Amino acid sequence: MLAAPAKGHAFASTIKTFSTASGKEHRFFSLPALARKYPNVKRLPRSIRIVLESVLRHCDGSKVTAEHVEQLANWKPNAARSEEIPFTVARVLLQDFTGVPLLVDLAAMRAAAQGVGADPKRVEPLVPVDLVVDHSIMVDHYGTKMALTQNMKMEFARNHERYQFMKWGMQAFDTFRVVPPGFGICHQVNLEFLTKGVHQRKDGVVYPDTLVGTDSHTPMINGAGVVGWGVGGIEAEAAMLGQPVYILTPDVVGFELKGQLREGVTATDLVLTVTELLRRNKVVGTFVEYFGEGTASLSVPDRATLGNMSPENGSTIGLFPVDGRTLEYFEGTGRTRAEIELVEAYYKAQGLFGAARAGEVDYSRVVTLDLGDVTPSIAGPRRPQDRIDLGDAKKRFAELFTTPMEVGGFARPAEAFGERVHIRPAAPMDALAEPAGFEVGNGDVLIAAITSCTNTSNPGVMLAAGLLAKKAVEAGLKVKRHVKTSLAPGSRIVTEYLQETGLLPYLEKIGFNLAGYGCTTCIGNSGDLTPELNQAIAEHELVCASVLSGNRNFEARIHPNLKANFLMSPPLVVAYAIAGSINVDLMTEPVGKGRGGKDVYLGDIWPSSDEVQKLLKFAMKGKAFRENYAKIETEPGKLWEKIKGVTGQIYDWPSSTYIAKPPFFDGFARTTAASAAEAATRDHSVRGARIMALFGDSVTTDHISPAGRIKESSPAGLWLKAHGVQKQDFNSYGSRRGQHEVMVRGTFANVRIKNLMIPPLPDGSRVEGGDTIYQGAGPQNGQKMPIFDAAELYMASNTPTVVFAGEEYGTGSSRDWAAKGTQLLGIQAVVARSFERIHRSNLIGMGVLPLQFRGKDSWELLNLRGDEVVDVVVDRKLKPQGKAKLIIQRSDGSTQEVPLVLRLDTPIEVDYYRAGGILPYVLHQLIGD
């Protein structure tokens, strides 16, 4: 018998029952029942309704009130957005680069709790947490059958201390699970295995699966109808410790899909088209919801590809409906019949099953796309929204070669375009060596990677890549010798179906051997090029390229020496690897010469939709999925089993260059009435500050946060060498996110970041690299130096610093170290034209004040040079989006006042900031202050 409705719940009357096809009865919080009181609910977007269900279910009169339910139930498509939603998620997803520092913070919180006499076990995840190790493997070896084994051995050797720490976390926290290295990428594992569509409480209440993840591509799960998005590790920590995720009530953009894709057009082409379209429609911070008859033509992997790229188009989520396609996917990936029945019955009972039709739902605005208009595309060379028709790629690259850097070009002289440099390797280039040497030039593809959760999750494009490789081999085509090729799927299932269809051997014959199961090239873990290639690029200023089936192609992300990086479908990655250059028009020119010197064109080897369709049955075998993921517990791998971690509830912080106790809780004390009153009236203005940096538009978290390789001469490299680490053992910044001494030294140290307070070069180009001009007292005044070194000097003299920036500050991955590093450098405020959502939230979470210029104001219009002293003045009674002002004191003695907007958007963000950040706030809550 089902339990009685919850007593005392403000909306107990909405608890109803529903039955599955097998006749099992379940309880749920019914949105149709709520609609009897609030008729507006019937016309709400599906995404808002799913969030509303969480608010309704968690209405406790404290964190979530009846007013919150009423406000969201009365959501209007174009109302002013001033109300916050306390969204309590069902679970949290982590990847290892962002998950390890989160675990470090939890360990530090336990130590801080113990330090003030509280029970450290109070610091415990209250919702299930899954950490998938997918960011650590690098493509050091490629082009051989031993590449996977060799890369994994190197991965475990490099990351032994990190993996020991994860093993401690597994035994210390009851709801913390680790998916070991070698299983896949977190988002693909999430889609294929972790989500069940719905959850059930101990009291029998069924509710939708929802989550936040510490990776910006968490919205990939939106393809299965699950609401989830990426947050920084700081927010995720709060979510797993029982705090709602607070967001401003969003606008919801309806994206109507019509028709179906044409022959020869892939899901990747579609997603690049949608990314361009939505960026143009400025959907930053909105929910996007796909609807219309065209949705039925897209499989869940196709939909997941679109959801995955939500960060690239700027939206928070890109939700598809739960429908027959969803159930079909769940069956094909091994979910049980009972689980599938429960998902179907639940969503039908809520009135949420199937795609909305035009006019059924009230959206803030609607964007429409006819799928038949999508054409073969690539995107680049620096941003995923810069889509290029495949037939225009050659011409576009030639244009960009001479275009000034300020408008996205490479600023090279036209006469250098055709330059070729002879390379004679001192040592073989792995298995694909050309002993006699070879030539490289501008536009040559040096890295070709089938990589990333975005596309390797999609059997359609992966099978197409295999079929194209098969036809290429049969035609006598080979990959050019200067191309570093790799295959790194997001799941072991991919290689299973490529083997079963007989396509894997053909990929291997042209160099696309399995290199690892992880993000690899997509996050910059591409491994290095040969010294000879790096030298040739540097000495001749070559503009060489990478091609990858990933989601990000920001400057210096893929490889610091490759300036042109293009996103595309897996079959196009193979085609460009064969062509060897971007300077080939694949629509009209041969891909290469086959047997007998015959020209072979892309159309000769491009697989048809029917050919792909016939093989899809091999990719959707439920038994294979169940057997694969059962091995997480039964056969996690010999390398993983050898790792032994310390035990106990409190971590003992052994000396390590990977894991260290962070300083975020130094001086933590229990709250008293007096200290609470003092915090509420403290002056949070920043006075007498120096300017650390002046940045332009689109400064990404890749620019801000330490990422990629660690240079030997950098502050981080020097610190590692001083601590006995050899250069070959530096590993990446991402792998060292648990060691704050490394990370703070790498913040703002990207080789492509441009601090515009540094004077331009004689030719007018801007200086690149993480330097600043120190403006403090002493002999170093006016000297150019690394930002970290300047920060050390400013902090030694108790001088606060601020950063100024343009539009879209903090675009990109949800890297909490972009905010943590900012705080540890002593930067107390960031003033920008606009912020990307996650990074603004993370700044607040670390106690750094985000402020926004009003109207058309900018630091450029204010003629800031970097030698000014500034005050950022805010009201003692902080209010969401309250007024603030910037007072500029110039070197000539003049002053200027400029109005600013305080970007603490919600009351809870004010509370977080007053507490010094979200982590101290949550810890006070947990220990009962």
Task: Find all residues with CB under 8 Å of 839, minimum gap 6, and list them.
Answer: 232, 701, 704, 809, 810, 811, 814, 818, 819
Residue 2: band (very low, low, confident or very high) from pLDDT cuts 50, 70, 90: very low
- pLDDT above 70 as % of the chain: 97
What pLDDT was estimated at residue 554? 86
Q: What is the pLDDT of residue 7?
A: 62
Lowest mean pLDDT among 433-447, 534-548, 563-577, 582-596: 433-447
pLDDT of amino acid 237: 87
| Mean pLDDT, residues 399-426 taken together | 92
Give mean pLDDT, residues 108-131. Answer: 94
pLDDT of residue 436: 67
Q: What is the mean pLDDT of residues 294-306?
A: 97
What's the whole-number average pLDDT of the chain? 93
Note the pLDDT tens digit of each residue in 190-237: 999 999 999 999 999 999 999 999 998 999 999 999 999 998 888 898
Query: What confidence category does residue 305 fall into, taking pLDDT thresholds of 50, 70 and 90?
Result: very high
Quick check: 830 pLDDT over 80? yes
Six-digit token string for 351: 């009135």
Q: Residue 497: is its pLDDT beyond 60?
A: yes
Cα(896)–Cα(888) distance, integer angstroms:
5
Q: What is the pLDDT of residues 769-793, one digit of tens each?
A: 999 999 998 899 999 999 999 999 9
Residue 816 has pLDDT above 90, yes or no: no
Residue 863: strand, helix, or coil = coil
- pLDDT at residue 429, as a whole number: 46
pLDDT of residue 777: 84
State residue 22's pLDDT score: 96
3-state secondary structure 878-923: CCCCCEEEEEEECCCCCEEEEEEEECCCCHHHHHHHHCCCHHHHHH
CB atoms within 10 A of CB 782: 10
Closest of 167, 168, 215, 171 to residue 189, by C-alpha: 215
pLDDT at res. 82: 78
pLDDT at 427 over 80: no
Query: In which band, very low, low, confident or very high, does the pLDDT at 814 lie, cut at 50, 70 and 90?
Result: low
Average pLDDT over residues 448-470: 96
Q: DSSP states of 631-671 as a string? A: HHHH---HHHHT-----SSS----S-SS----GGGTT----
Token pair of 52 as six digits: 């509303």
Q: Report yes or no: 352 and 367 within 8 Å, Cβ to Cβ.
A: no
Q: Give me the mean pLDDT over the 27-55 stretch.
A: 98
In degrees and rounded to multiples of 5, residue 732 shows phi and psi of -105, 165
When comparing pLDDT for 555 and 209, which is higher? 209
Residue 3 has pLDDT above 70, yes or no: no
pLDDT tens digits for 319-343? Answer: 999 999 999 999 999 999 999 999 9
Residues 301-337 as b/e (b if ≥16 CB within 10 A, e otherwise) read bbbbbbbbbbbbbbbbbbbbbbbebbbebbebbbbee
Cβ-Cβ contacts under 8 Å for 638 (sequence gap 6 or more): none
Which of 386-400, 424-438, 501-515, 611-625 is the least confident region?
424-438
Per-residue pLDDT, 163:
95
Burial 52-64 (b: 16+ CB within 10 A, else e): bbbbbbbbeeebb
Q: Which band of pLDDT confidence, cut at 50, 70 and 90, is reported for residue 673?
A: low
Mean pLDDT in residue range 841-870: 95
> What does DSSP say about strands 849-853 and 827-832: parallel, antiparallel, or unpaired?
parallel
Is pLDDT above 60 for 535? yes
Alpha-carbon distance values, 158 to 138, 559, 844 (Å): 10, 20, 33
pTM here?
0.86
pLDDT score of 564 more than 60: yes
Distance (Å, whole) CA 244 – CA 55 = 9
Q: Is the pLDDT of residue 378 over 60?
A: yes
Contact by Cβ (8 Å): 892, 924: no
pLDDT of residue 927: 87
Q: Which of 527, 525, 457 minimizes the C-alpha distance to 492?
A: 457
Token duo for residue 44: 């709400």
Rounded mean pLDDT, 476-495: 96
Q: What are phi and psi of 365, to 5 degrees?
A: -165, 170
What pLDDT is attached to residue 584? 97
Give pLDDT, residue 669: 85
